[in-house]
Amino acid sequence: MNAHLRRCVDAAAALGCPTVGTFVGRDPGLPVRDNLERAAGVFKPLVGYARDRGVEIVIENCLMKGWHPDGYPGNLAYSPELWEWMFTLGLKLNYDPSHLVPLGIDPVAAAMPYVSEIAHVQAKDTEILPGAVNRFGFYGPINGEKGWYRFRVPGLGQIDWPMVIGALRAGGYDGVVSVEHEDHVHSGSTERVQTGLGIAYGTLRHLVRG
């Protein structure tokens, strides 16, 4: 796995791409603190390898619930507390506000103190399904699925995109905002995907620079 990440860094450097994204995995049999100690030893040399080639490693704040046998966070980068740990290693944040909504975290308040550490932004929305949380709770069904929320294209969920993009710009972010299409309502055919992307474009076009 680490050899693969190094090859991705080499490819990014050859292509002039400034970032390579990955996650911080975990051993589900160990406490979070023990996992973080192990992860620090893994990532420090990888960060150095990337920086020597003009590339930064970015970590997305996705929960990756499917990595954990009980559906708990499998990626140890899901909250600002863990972002601060990442930054001490020289890792940067691939900021996706859609993953904060199900945690009860305000995407704007979460991002504002750390804009200088954000190296990439993913635009994806989250729709809360009415009443479903009363059955599953915030942790979701026992099979690890989301259960009470689903991802949508920007503009069809709970996220206030003018506030999110405004906070990023106010903090000095002037990088990429890439649409991550995981909207199953607008999937299944080329036409549906294009419709979803059109909605995302219409939501974001006046908020970002071309």
Nearest alpha-carbon partner for 132 in 120, 145, 122: 145
Phi/psi at 191 (5° precision)? -65, -40
CB of 179 closer than 8 Å to CB of 205: no
Token representation of residue 165: 């993009």
Question: DSSP letter string over 39-77?
Answer: HHHHHHHHHHHHHTTT-EEEEE----GGGSTTSS--STT
Average pLDDT over residues 167-174: 96
Q: Which residue has the higher pLDDT, 161 or 73?
A: 161
Region of 90 on the Ramachandran plot (φ > 0 left; ψ -120 to 50 alpha; else beta): left
Phi/psi at 126 (5° precision)? -130, 125
Helix (H) / strand (E) containing 32: helix 32-51
* CA 170 – CA 150 distance, rounded (Å): 29
Average pLDDT over residues 184-206: 97
- pLDDT for the residue numbered 133: 87
Mean pLDDT of the chain: 94
List, for residues 65-119, the tens digit of each pLDDT value: 888 888 889 999 999 999 999 999 999 999 999 999 999 999 999 999 999 999 9
Predicted confidence (pLDDT) at residue 142 exceeds the cutoff of 80: no
- pLDDT for the residue numbered 141: 79
Q: Is 161 exposed, middle or buried (0-12, 13-18, 19+ CB in 10 A)?
A: buried
